[in-house]
Chains A and B, each alone.
Chain A
Amino acid sequence: MSDTPVDLVLDLNSEDDTGLPWGFVDEASDPSRIREGAWIVVGSGTARAVAQVADIEGEIVHVRPLPGPVSRHRHLVGHNVA
Chain B
Amino acid sequence: MPTEPTPRVRRAPIPDEAVLVVRGDELDPAVLSADAERFHRRFRSWGRYGVSAFLANDDAEVDALCETRLRQWAIAVVFERSALEANGIDVVPTFRTPHVTLAHAELEELVERLTSCEHRVVVNPYHEADIGPLETP
What residues of chain A have their CB less than 8 Å away from a CB belonging to chain B? 1-2, 4, 9-17, 19, 22-24, 27, 43-49, 58-60, 65, 67-75
Contact = CB atoms under 8 A, between A and B. Distances in A.
Given A1-B31, A59-B2, A71-B130, 17 more contacts: A1-B28, A2-B130, A13-B25, A14-B35, A14-B38, A15-B99, A16-B95, A19-B96, A23-B38, A46-B26, A47-B25, A49-B72, A69-B128, A69-B131, A71-B131, A71-B133, A75-B137
Interface string B53-89: 1100000000000000111111100000000000000
A71 B34 contact: no
Nearest to B24: A13
Contacts of B134: 71
Question: DSSP majority for the B interface?
Answer: loop
Nearest to A13: B52
Interface residues of B, number: 40
A79 to B, nearest CB: 14
Contacts of A48: 72, 130
Given A14-B52, A15-B52, A59 B1 contact: yes
Given A13-B23, A23-B38, A45-B28, A71 B72 contact: no
A71 B135 contact: yes
A51 B103 CA distance: 27
Contacts of A71: 130-135
A52 B70 CA distance: 18
B72 A4 contact: no
B31 to A, nearest CB: 4
B41 interface: yes
Contacts of A72: 128, 135, 137
Contact of A45 (B31, B41, B96): B31
